[in-house]
């Protein structure tokens, strides 16, 4: 269970002016705005263009969907096939004559339509001007905007978005509208009732406006839902990122997600989320686009560092605690990217092929924990999932998320990840971001097109009611209708002073940032107590990662470059540094205090000089790093994902050079993920290694805390560091995105992600998941386990039968929150596709009870068994330890040899012993039965193990039978 020791609110600070240097996600575009056949029909094209230009003053102009399509196994009515909104799912085989006829009819339909586009509340002339001159500001016409700072090593790259030539193979699951819930939430119930009352008299156009973003850079935020003054609705502001509010100033730069995972500390996970939530709210942002909880499937994945590591339970805990923190501060959290977005290469064209059991037990688990944390929003991803685009995959959205999990918030698209109008709406998408199909195109799949779809019946009116109600329920859930701050910045126009108030939202958040930086640092090696340092007489720093960048901390837009110390990766998951304390700066202050002489050499490629400046010093610190980020930026030839797991900037050679002349070489690693350490890790002169990850703005201060023993290292690796890249269960296939058109990313390793694979294949890594040393030592003893005895007797007799349990839970009355319209149902057909022995498609059957949220049922997640273990500090220093609970399933269950199920953090003085407890639910010990489509507790004997890592040979163990034993 999560800790109840929540952090208290911290009052906000007063404003103070300062400029910032943002770069919007302008390069996340999705291909050409017009199909190729228009080149052969220029007359028609210009006729349509003229009509579209005229209609810009009325709304979004001619929709992009005319004549463009994706081949689908979808039967459309005659009305649907001719409507503008349904054009996105028509046949992809376009006949020029037919195209002319359809286009002419579309223009006629637009010119005679009486509906008004609701994509933006700005006046038409301002919208049109914005589309012509992106540097101007409609909010402050006389203000000026400066261009993005130049970047030497980063390039923004775009590629055309190829049309889908695959059939639609996801189960067509109908939207779960007007259903009761297995576990009704009083908070969600009240929020939905309030939303239902609030929306009672709204028009179709007004409801559509809630679902459709205003368009790229058509507001102050990265995503904008326009205000509706007549309804006393001020609109919504959506902002990145998962480590701090992006493209603003006077904000904090928090440690990356992977670092908070390294703490294995649930309280720190919450504290970081709460502090970030305070800053988003202080800036007037309603919706924080985080946390990111995709899995560390491939070691070179570009955005791995934004997430929480290579185990679903670690990621699930970090996701849940982060969401609680953000939303306790009054901000809507958005968990992303749902689902199968584990790499950047071909992320907008690839098809993630994940077996049913693998999906349930690994990749959807963190999202389940997000739903249990009452997350307001879920962002769907760019890729295809088992053959269907993630943002219109009804099995993923309507089926798993809204039906199985009982998610009661709204689903938003990633920016320009929507691929259809009618299909995406009926498949479960609730909000499109940023609203336009192509950034700044002023066209949309929704907006006027969605209004048209509602009016002609292509999208049921109750689906629109459901979309609007979900969005407003999340708004009311967080109390954002009461005294919420106004947006006080302009992410697209940061130099327009009339739009930017420069409100300082940092307060004293540097304290929790420094704390996490120290708590997340992993001590990998420490020979003969090299660390902590004890006032050395002389010291040298080798390697550019230990010093500042000559371009400053924000010199590369969206951090798309690697100069100086590395404290965050690159891409939309970043924010501006208010400052960056590099190791040189912090160590210099400590050296002055200790009387240590300090030299340094920061030319990574001049190893001869590095040797000279490492000779004769009491201790030599060597700093190396490895960087990655989002695909729209390329750094040193790395297109988001890393090309390999080698250290950057000649790092391996640099360590070897220093170690050849100094017998007390300490290596400090700032990295987005695992690196190859084999050339130097066993060198006898490399006596200590600190893995510092991406610690944020207080990087140097946190490092000094560890180096000199102010903080006893307690961080643990949230992923495995292998001896070579080929040892990992999966790696990126660096194929050209056009060959094939939709490259398959096959999750062939299935359940054997990260350490599970190494255990299954008996491969010895360099450092395993959960590993981390301390300046003291710990011992475990007295592992015990017992039944709680307060759960229903019938559960023990038939643990895998949900239907039988319903009779015993009659004390809870499911709550139904309805919309104004009547529910419509869709067909449920099975998907017989397979992948491996688990099956890629579910065998979902009609939910006869009409209840939602079977996966979040209290009976499945309540504590059934409790474990306890005694932890003793057997060393001479105060320190923290993190006992980790692992289960070894019976062999017949088909699970990996060992899986993490919980972890805890305990602080101990020398000689002190404390009892640490863990709790297990039926869900925790179940597997997903792909035939029964249920969670089933396997029969047989389990191994219960508590240790200091996933491969701790000194762990304490017992056996236990949960079901089917005498």
Q: If you ran DSSP here, which 8-state letter would residue 738 be given?
A: T
Helix axes 699-707, 583-594, angle to 10 degrees: 40
**Cβ 760 vs Cβ 896: under 8 Å:** yes
The DSSP bridge pattern shows strands 619-626 and 899-903 to be unpaired
Longest CA–CA span in the chain (Å) reads 86
**Cβ 73 vs Cβ 89: under 8 Å:** no
Number of Cβ atoms within 10 Å of the Cβ of 495: 18
- Joined together, the tokens standing for residue 915 give 């009892």
- Joined together, the tokens standing for residue 224 give 């904008």
Buried b (16+ CB within 10 A) or exposed e, 731-744: bbeeeebeeeebbb
- Joined together, the tokens standing for residue 245 give 């509010």
**Which residues, in sequence order, are CB contacts of 186 under 8 Å at separation 6+?**
none
Q: Can 436 be counted among the known catalytic residues? A: no
Characterise 162 by phi-psi region: left (phi > 0), alpha (psi -120 to 50), beta (else).
Answer: beta
Q: What is the dihedral of CA 63, 69, 75, 78, to 10 degrees?
A: 40
- What is the C-alpha to C-alpha distance for residues 248 and 490, in angstroms, rounded to an integer? 8
- What is the C-alpha to C-alpha distance for residues 420 and 674, in angstroms, rounded to an integer? 38
- Joined together, the tokens standing for residue 622 give 């060597």
Compute φ and ψ for 620, nearest 5 degrees.
-120, 120
Distances (CA, A) of 711 to 705, 776, 877: 5, 12, 11
Characterise 950 by phi-psi region: left (phi > 0), alpha (psi -120 to 50), beta (else).
Answer: alpha
β partners of residue 238:
223, 287
Compute φ and ψ for 615, nearest 5 degrees.
-85, 130
- What is the C-alpha to C-alpha distance for residues 82 and 87, in angstroms, rounded to an integer? 7
Cα 327 versus chain centre, distance: 16
Residue carrying structure tokens 């236990």? 960
The helix, strand and coil proportions of the chain, stated in percent and rounded to the nearest 5, come to: 30, 15, 55
What is the chain's Cα-based Rg?
A: 28
The DSSP bridge pattern shows strands 686-691 and 744-746 to be unpaired
- Joined together, the tokens standing for residue 757 give 């694979």
- What is the C-alpha to C-alpha distance for residues 295 and 290, in angstroms, rounded to an integer? 14
Catalytic, out of 414, 545, 558, 562: 414
- What is the C-alpha to C-alpha distance for residues 621 and 668, in angstroms, rounded to an integer? 7
**Cβ 835 vs Cβ 354: under 8 Å:** yes
- What is the C-alpha to C-alpha distance for residues 34 and 21, in angstroms, rounded to an integer? 33
Handedness of CA 803, 804, 805, 810 (dihedral sign): positive
- Joined together, the tokens standing for residue 670 give 């700032």
Residue carrying structure tokens 């699951």? 173
- Joined together, the tokens standing for residue 960 give 């236990």
**Which residues, in sequence order, are CB contacts of 16 under 8 Å at separation 6+?**
250, 502, 504
- What is the helix (H) or strand (E) element at residue 609, kind and residue range? helix 607-614
Instruction: Give me the DSSP letters along 655-675.
Output: HHHHHTT-SSEEEEEEESS--
Q: If you ran DSSP here, which 8-state letter would residue 702 be given?
A: H
The beta-strand segments (E) located in 226-362 are 236-239, 287-288, 332-338, 351-353
Q: If you ran DSSP here, which 8-state letter would residue 360 be given?
A: I
Residues recognised as catalytic:
414
């Amino acid at each position: 269970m999560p800790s109840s020791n929540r952090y208290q609110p911290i009052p906000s600070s007063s404003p103070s002016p300062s400029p910032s240097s943002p770069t919007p996600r302008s390069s996340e575009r999705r291909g050409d705005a017009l199909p190729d056949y228009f080149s052969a029909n220029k007359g028609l094209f210009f006729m349509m263009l003229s009509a579209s230009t005229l209609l810009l003053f009325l709304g979004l102009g001619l929709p992009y969907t005319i004549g463009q399509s994706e081949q689908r196994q979808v039967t459309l009515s005659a009305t649907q096939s001719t409507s503008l909104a349904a054009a996105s799912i028509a046949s992809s085989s376009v006949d020029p004559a037919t195209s002319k006829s359809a286009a002419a009819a579309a223009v006629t339909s637009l010119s005679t339509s009486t509906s008004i586009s609701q994509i933006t509340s700005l006046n038409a002339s301002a919208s049109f001007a914005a589309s012509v001159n992106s540097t101007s500001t409609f909010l402050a016409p006389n203000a000026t905007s400066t261009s993005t700072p130049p970047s030497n090593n980063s390039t923004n790259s775009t590629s055309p978005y190829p049309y889908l030539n695959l059939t639609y193979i996801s189960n067509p699951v109908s939207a779960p509208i007007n259903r009761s819930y297995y576990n009704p939430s009083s908070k969600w119930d009240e929020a939905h009732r309030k939303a239902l009352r609030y929306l009672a008299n709204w028009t179709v156009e007004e409801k559509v406006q809630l679902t459709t973003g205003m368009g790229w850079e058509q507001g102050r935020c990265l995503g904008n839902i326009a205000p509706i003054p007549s309804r006393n609705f001020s609109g919504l502001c959506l902002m990145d990122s998962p480590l701090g509010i992006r493209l603003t100033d006077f904000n904090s730069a928090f440690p990356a997600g992977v670092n908070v995972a390294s703490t294995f500390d649930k309280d720190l996970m919450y504290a970081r989320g709460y502090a970030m939530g305070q800053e988003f709210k202080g800036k007037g942002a309603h919706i924080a686009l985080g946390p990111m909880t995709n899995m560390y499937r491939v070691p070179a994945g570009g955005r791995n560092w934004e997430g929480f590591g290579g185990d679903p339970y670690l990621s699930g805990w970090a996701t849940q605690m982060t969401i609680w923190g953000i939303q306790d501060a009054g901000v809507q959290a958005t968990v992303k990217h749902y689902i199968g977005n584990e790499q950047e290469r071909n992320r907008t064209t690839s098809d993630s092929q994940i077996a049913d059991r693998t999906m349930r037990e690994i990749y959807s688990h963190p999202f389940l924990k997000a739903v249990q944390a009452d997350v307001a929003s879920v962002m769907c991803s760019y890729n295809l999932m088992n053959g269907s685009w993630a943002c219109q995959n009804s099995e993923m959205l309507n089926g798993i998320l809204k039906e199985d999990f009982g998610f009661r918030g709204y689903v938003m698209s990633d920016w320009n990840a929507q691929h259809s109008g009618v299909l995406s709406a009926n498949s479960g998408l609730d909000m499109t971001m940023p609203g336009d199909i192509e950034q700044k195109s002023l066209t949309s799949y929704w907006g006027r097109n969605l209004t048209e779809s509602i009016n002609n019946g292509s999208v049921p009116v109750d689906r629109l009611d459901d979309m609007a109600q979900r969005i407003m329920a999340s708004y009311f859930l967080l109390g954002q209708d009461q005294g919420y701050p106004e947006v006080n910045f302009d992410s697209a126009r940061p130099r327009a002073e009339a739009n930017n108030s420069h409100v300082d939202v940092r307060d004293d958040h540097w304290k929790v940032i420094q704390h996490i930086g120290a708590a997340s640092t992993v001590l990998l090696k420490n020979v003969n107590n090299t660390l902590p340092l004890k006032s050395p007489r002389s010291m040298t720093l080798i390697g550019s990662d230990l010093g500042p960048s000559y371009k400053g901390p924000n010199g590369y837009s969206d951090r798309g470059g690697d100069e100086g110390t590395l404290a965050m990766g690159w891409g939309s998951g970043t924010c501006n540094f208010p400052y960056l304390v590099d190791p040189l700066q912090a160590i210099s202050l400590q050296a002055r205090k200790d009387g240590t002489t300090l030299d340094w050499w920061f030319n990574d490629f001049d190893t001869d000089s590095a040797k000279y400046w490492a000779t004769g010093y009491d201790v030599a610190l060597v700093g190396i790093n490895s960087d990655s980020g989002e695909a729209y930026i390329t750094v040193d030839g790395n297109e988001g994902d890393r090309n390999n797991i080698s250290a950057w900037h000649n790092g391996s050679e640099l360590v070897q050079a220093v170690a050849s002349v100094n017998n007390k070489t300490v290596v400090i690693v700032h990295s987005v993920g695992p690196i190859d350490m084999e050339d130097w890790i066993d060198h006898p002169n490399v006596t200590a290694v600190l893995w510092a990850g991406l610690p944020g703005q207080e990087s140097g201060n946190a490092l000094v805390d560890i180096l000199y023993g102010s903080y006893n290292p307690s961080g643990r690796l949230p992923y495995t560091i292998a001896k070579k890249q080929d040892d990992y269960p999966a790696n990126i296939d660096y194929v050209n995105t056009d060959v094939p058109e939709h490259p398959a990313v096959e999750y062939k390793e299935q359940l054997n992600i990260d350490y599970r694979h190494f255990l299954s294949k008996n491969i010895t890594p360099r450092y395993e998941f959960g590993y981390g040393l301390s300046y003291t030592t710990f011992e475990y003893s007295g592992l015990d386990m017992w039944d709680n005895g307060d759960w229903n007797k019938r559960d023990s007799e038939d643990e895998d039968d949900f239907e039988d349990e319903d009779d015993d839970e009659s004390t809870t009355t499911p709550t139904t929150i309805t919309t104004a319209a009547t529910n419509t149902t869709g067909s449920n057909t099975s998907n017989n596709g397979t992948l491996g022995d688990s099956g890629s498609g579910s065998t979902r059957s009609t939910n006869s009870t009409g209840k939602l949220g079977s996966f979040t049922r209290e009976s499945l997640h309540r504590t059934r068994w409790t474990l306890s273990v005694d932890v003793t500090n057997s060393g001479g220093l105060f320190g923290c330890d993190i006992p980790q609970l692992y289960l070894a399933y019976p062999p017949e269950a088909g699970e990996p040899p060992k899986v993490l199920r919980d972890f805890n953090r305990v602080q101990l003085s020398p000689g002190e012993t404390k009892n640490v407890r863990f709790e297990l639910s039926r869900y925790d010990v179940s597997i997903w039965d792909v035939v029964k489509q249920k969670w089933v507790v396997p029969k047989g004997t389990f191994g219960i193990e508590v240790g200091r890592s996933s491969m701790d040979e000194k762990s304490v163990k017992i056996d236990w039978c949960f079901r089917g034993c005498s």
